[in-house]
Amino acid sequence: MTTSTPSRNGAAKQPHLRVIPLGGLHEIGKNTCVFEYGDDIMLVDAGLAFPSDGMHGVNVVMPDTSYLKENQKRIRGMIVTHGHEDHIGGIAHHLKNFNIPVIHGPRLALAMLTGKMEEAGVMDRTILQTVAPRDVVKVGQHFSVEFIRNTHSMADSFSLAITTPVGTVIFTGDFKFDHTPVDGETFDMARLAHYGEQGVLCLFSDSTNSEVPGFCPPERSVFPCLDRHISQAEGRVIITTFASSIHRVAMILELALKNGRKVGLLGRSMLNVIAKARELGYMRAPDDLFVPIKQIRDLPDRETLLLMTGSQGEPLAALSRISRGEHPQVQVKNSDTIIFSASPIPGNTISVVNTIDRLMMLGAKVVYGKGEGIHVSGHGFQEDQKLMLALTKPKFFVPVHGEHRMLVCHSKTAQSMGVPADNILIIDNGDVVELTPDSINKGEPVKAGIELLDASRNGIVDARVLKERQQLADDGVITMLAVISTDGVMAAPPRVNLRGVVTAADPRKLSLWTEREITWVLENRWQQLSRNTGGKAPEVDWMGVQREIEVGLQRRLRRELQVEPLIICLVQPAPGGTPAYKGRADAEPDTRPAPRGRRDGHRDGNRDRDRDRSERPSAPRRELASVGAGAPAPASAAPAPAPVAATPARVEEPEISGRTRRRRSAAS
Ligand SMILES: [Zn+2]
Ligand SMILES: [Zn+2]
């Protein structure tokens, strides 16, 4: 059944349902799923992910939504399963780019979404419709969706039964089976069983913990462990967890009350989420339990509990700042008990352990880790996943919400439950699952990938920008200024300036290489880059000249020094007829030691004079910023005939790469 039948046009053959995840597969995060039948598109969730190492200056990762932008006329609405960032974090951003006429979702999730939409100024772009358990909503002509209450680390969470013309699809959303949920809202297993009896065409199920055997312990099981640590604490108690772990936060507030401690809240999301959850009744706590941070310092330590963000070691979160001694209101005391009631998301482990180390070095008692019973997952383990399969009895199965090995593991679980291997698809973002009443196939994939947003969440960091940032961080930057006359002559020696570049190369060698690249470009590319328009001066593609020099030098540095700094070339045009700078390329190899005290390798035309000057300790350092505009740089002292002197250097050059050779022979 897994044969690939490329079939983009549903009308051409038997109509089928297309399910296209744009995010959330082979990763944990940015869950975004497209359901498509006929002319209708329905979205399920639209989350964000957080950047990995090397994504410098990127704050948020979004799925590529080109497919949705191209097909936005067909989008009939969106379904939200619950309020976690990896499910709703992308919506406000997407609303700036394409239309979503209506969003149906749980009250708590939509309340949190409202805050994000207000911030992004997109409140008027869609209609938010709150749903209750067992509500059925119609989206477009072909979809009807029932919201089935499930249990998860976030309150007010749903699984979905999506009825389509080809059959019913169960989309679990994030879930675990918690029979004693903190808020008393139990999993509506009867409803799942009902659909299982009627016949479920396909199950799309949460794979996060598919590698973990057993049942996921109930959320309530952390209560006695937290209670023990809090009641035994001699001084202040500081607890960090995800603000969105509503049940956990509710229990911590309950424990504060029980142990006679007032609560101070730190971190914007902690304050926001608790305010929203209390307002909507998902958390019950008396007003006088909370004390503003400024006043809480007046209370005895034994009556204080601080609840804050920073469980993932995020550099700007409250606990991280406290650990670095940078928080204006809270400093660590020896008597503090600090509890990490969360486990690090893969990728955050190093920043979390660093935070723990710093807090311990400041003298606090830090409680963390698996053995303490202070954290349980919100995602079901293998036995939970089996129970889901047993209740829904799906014909076809697609594991979702997980990294590749988790998907594979989940598919094995399904096979052990009797789902034939041929009826299971392991897919990637952008893959298209095509379903008919009796088949499941992979169709032609659609464009999928990532969009990276910087702090403003407006600027998209594209692949080129990211590459440049990686180069800056890894290998630094080289800037150079070349003075070139409009008749294609190098009119002054190039100025080269290094920042953050570690190289054993003699700076003079660098400027020699630069001269050679410039000379090469002028000799071999000038014809293509300049155009005689009949006016006084030819029209020159200066950007093209810059690019050619950058590319050439880049390759040479990669080859010679195994470094890849970012290279920025600025060309300062000089009037035609400016005498040529003769260049050092034809100079004898210089055995004098490199000048000390300066890193930039630029030279004036008179090399000896310049070298002498640079050796003087007080030699003024010339910055690139000081040039680049205005009159041409002082022309070379050596009056040479135009065009630029031939460079015998090429003959000396022992290191001509394949590329240079090709370029040269092509030009000759
Ligand atoms: Zn979740
Ligand atoms: Zn999730």
Report pLDDT digits (tens) over 597-623. Answer: 333 333 333 333 333 333 333 333 333
Number of the ligand closest to the Cα of 84: 1
Number of the ligand closest to the Cα of 86: 2
User: Is the distance from CB of 170 to CB of 392 less than 8 angstroms?
Assistant: yes
Q: Report how far ligand 2's centroid is from the alpha carbon of 279 (Å).
A: 24
Q: Report how far ligand 1's centroid is from the alpha carbon of 152 (Å).
A: 7
User: For all residues of the chain together, what is the average pLDDT?
Assistant: 84
Task: Say what the pLDDT of residue 559 is.
Answer: 86
Q: 102-116, 447-461, 525-539 — which is least confidently predicted?
A: 447-461
Whether the predicted pLDDT of 384 surpasses 70: yes
Which of 598 and 64 is assigned the larger pLDDT? 64
Whether the predicted pLDDT of 210 surpasses 70: yes
**Omega before 218 within 30 of 0, i.e. cis:** no
Task: Say what the pLDDT of residue 21 is.
Answer: 96
* Residues within 5 Å of ion ligand 1, judged at the Cβ atom: 84, 174
Verdict on whether the full-model pTM lies above 0.85: no
* Averaged pLDDT for residues 150-162: 97
Q: Report how far ligand 2's centroid is from the alpha carbon of 283 (Å).
A: 21
Number of the ligand closest to the Cα of 154: 1
Task: Say what the pLDDT of residue 102 is.
Answer: 98
Whether the predicted pLDDT of 582 surpasses 80: no
Q: 332-336, 383-387, 463-467, 573-577 — which is least confidently predicted?
A: 463-467
Q: Report how far ligand 2's centroid is from the alpha carbon of 1 (Å).
A: 29
3-state secondary structure 278-328: HHCCCCCCCHHHECCHHHHCCCCHHHEEEEECCCCCCCCCHHHHHHCCCCC
Q: Report how far ligand 2's centroid is from the alpha carbon of 84 (Å).
A: 6
Number of the ligand closest to the Cα of 109: 1
Task: Say what the pLDDT of residue 599 is.
Answer: 38
Q: 170-174, 490-494, 617-621 — which is least confidently predicted?
A: 617-621
Task: Say what the pLDDT of residue 605 is.
Answer: 36
Angle between helices 268-279 and 246-258 (to 10 degrees): 90
Q: Report how far ligand 1's centroid is from the alpha carbon of 175 (Å).
A: 8
Q: Report how far ligand 2's centroid is from the alpha carbon of 643 (Å).
A: 65
Q: Report how far ligand 2's centroid is from the alpha carbon of 68 (Å).
A: 21
Q: Report how far ligand 2's centroid is from the alpha carbon of 104 (Å).
A: 18
Task: Say what the pLDDT of residue 662 is.
Answer: 35
Task: Say what the pLDDT of residue 221 is.
Answer: 96
Give Rg (Cα) of the chain.
Answer: 32
Angle at 15 between CA 75 and CA 436, to 5 degrees: 105
Number of the ligand closest to the Cα of 24: 2
At residue 460 the predicted structure's pLDDT band, cuts being 50, 70 and 90, is low
Q: Report how far ligand 1's centroid is from the alpha carbon of 616 (Å).
A: 64
* Averaged pLDDT for residues 470-491: 85
Q: Report how far ligand 2's centroid is from the alpha carbon of 316 (Å).
A: 23
Tell me the C-alpha distance between 385 and 214, whole Å: 10
Whether the predicted pLDDT of 658 surpasses 70: no
Q: Report how far ligand 1's centroid is from the alpha carbon of 206 (Å).
A: 10
Q: Report how far ligand 2's centroid is from the alpha carbon of 401 (Å).
A: 7
Q: Report how far ligand 2's centroid is from the alpha carbon of 310 (Å).
A: 19
